[in-house]
Amino acid sequence: SQKIEQNSEALNIQEGKTATLTCNYTNYSPAYLQWYRQDPGRGPVFLLLIRENEKEKRKERLKVTFDTTLKQSLFHITASQPADSATYLCALSPGANNLFFGTGTRLTVIP
């Protein structure tokens, strides 16, 4: 069956360190992979998209990698801040009009 796994339900890190979140998938061939941030009681907010033929994407303190051989994406937040505390979701799209989400990783940045 198709599955998207995000490394852990919760991740705690010290302020200033780099947070690394993992998204592993099986039985998908995603053309696109997205990362979203979700705060409690709110809808997800788009952060980054990476295509299957791209290895890495950056946006300010965020970096996403995409390894289609390992079937894995890594999401990095450098110089993390308490304001980065949220749940982060990965989402895969095998084609134009389908989108499958992982269950998310709740990140807490400790001051």
Partner 1 sequence: NAGVTQTPKFQVLKTGQSMTLQCAQDMNHEYMSWYRQDPGMGLRLIHYSVGAGITDQGEVPNGYNVSRSTTEDFPLRLLSAAPSQTSVYFCASSFNPLGFEQFFGPGTRLTVL
Residues at the contact surface with partner 1, assessed by CB under 8 A: 4, 31-32, 34, 36, 41-46, 49, 89, 91, 93, 95-104
Distance of CA 77 to the CA centre of its chain: 10
Query: Least distance to partner 1 from the beta carbon of 95, Å?
Result: 7
DSSP 60: T
Query: Least distance to partner 1 from the beta carbon of 41, Å?
Result: 8
Structure tokens of 3? 């599955």
Q: With respect to partner 1, which residue has the nearer C-beta, 20 or 93? A: 93
CA–CA distance, 55 with 66 (Å, rounded to integer): 5
